[in-house]
Amino acid sequence: MNPMRQFLTALAGFLLAGLLNPAAQARSTCGGCVYVTTVVHDTDANGAATLLQSDNYNGAGQATYTQGNGVVSDIYGGTYFLDLYSQTLRTLYITPNQPYAPAQNPPVPIPPPGYYSQYVEMPVHCYDASNNLVPLQNIITPSGNCRLGVDFGYNGVKYKLDMGPVLAAPGPATGLVDVSCNLTSGGQCVSWTVTPNPNGSLANVANLYYWARGGKLTFLGQYYNTFRIDITNP
């Protein structure tokens, strides 16, 4: 590949990453960010393996992710984010292909389980009974009306596995997410645990989407996702 082509390819990748991660663009200077420590566990509270796991980079059966070296672990605008797309050392193990109602003749491949860092962004949002956003710091009592999405890339295609009451794009209803407060300080929560809401017929069910041409988020099918994540400030 000639130098000009290499430059244009790299520039296109940089611009695409920015376009596909607008939340990261909005907080690039991190005004108002609260940096937090994230622990992703490989098992649920009963010891069963989860479908979303850590990279075991600095632990066994779990790993800790903190701000720095291309990793973003913060709360911005009341929403939690873990972003890994500006580096390649740290990853999440994502299982996006455990079917509940699988895609039929999908236009893009259904990604396999694996360690991902490309385009990886994992936000957690919580909502009130009218599905208005509630800042994570205000979750003092357990909320079962929350959402976890995880974006990731496979073979140059960006995907989203999304579970919650307010979805990123049209698609069938999914399961919900529980967020529990473990510790408060000054009337606000400073430590949370995030797990799937076990109630309802769609427990652990998430929608799988991909970004089609023109950046349109397009529904593919429904797949299971399970996880256990601890977040603490600091």
> pLDDT, tens digit, for every residue of 85-138?
999 999 999 999 999 999 999 999 999 999 999 999 999 999 999 999 999 999
Are 118 and 70 in contact, with CB atoms under 8 Å apart?
A: no
Indicate the average pLDDT of the chain.
90
Do the bridges between strand 157-163 and strand 177-185 make them parallel or antiparallel, or are there none, so unpaired?
Answer: unpaired
Residue 181 pLDDT grade (very low, low, confident, very high; cuts 50, 70, 90): very high
pLDDT value at 15 more than 50:
no
Integer Cα distance of 76 and 193 in angstroms? 18
113: CB partners within 8 A, 6+ apart: 51, 93, 94, 95, 96, 97
pLDDT, tens digit, 9 for 90 and up, residues 182-226 = 999 999 999 999 999 999 999 999 999 999 988 999 999 999 999
Residue 115 φ/ψ region, left for φ over 0, alpha for ψ in the -120 to 50 degree band, beta for the rest? beta
Residue 29 pLDDT grade (very low, low, confident, very high; cuts 50, 70, 90): low
Using CB atoms within 10 A of its CB, is residue 128 exposed (0-12), middle (13-18) or buried (19+)?
exposed
Integer Cα distance of 136 and 188 in angstroms? 9
Residue 149 pLDDT grade (very low, low, confident, very high; cuts 50, 70, 90): very high
Least confident span in 7-11, 32-36, 50-54, 172-176: 7-11
Token pair listed for 48: 């069963």
State the DSSP code for 203. T
pLDDT at position 30 is 67
Residue 81 φ/ψ region, left for φ over 0, alpha for ψ in the -120 to 50 degree band, beta for the rest? beta
Residue 32 pLDDT grade (very low, low, confident, very high; cuts 50, 70, 90): confident
4: CB partners within 8 A, 6+ apart: none
Mean pLDDT of 165-190: 98
Mean pLDDT of 55-65: 98
Rg, the chain, Cα only: 17
pLDDT value at 52 more than 70:
yes
State the DSSP code for 43. B
Q: Is 1 helix (H, G, I), strand (E, B) or coil?
A: coil
pLDDT at position 31 is 66
Are 119 and 85 in contact, with CB atoms under 8 Å apart?
A: yes
136: CB partners within 8 A, 6+ apart: 75, 78, 79, 80, 124, 126, 179, 189, 192, 231
Mean pLDDT of 162-182: 98
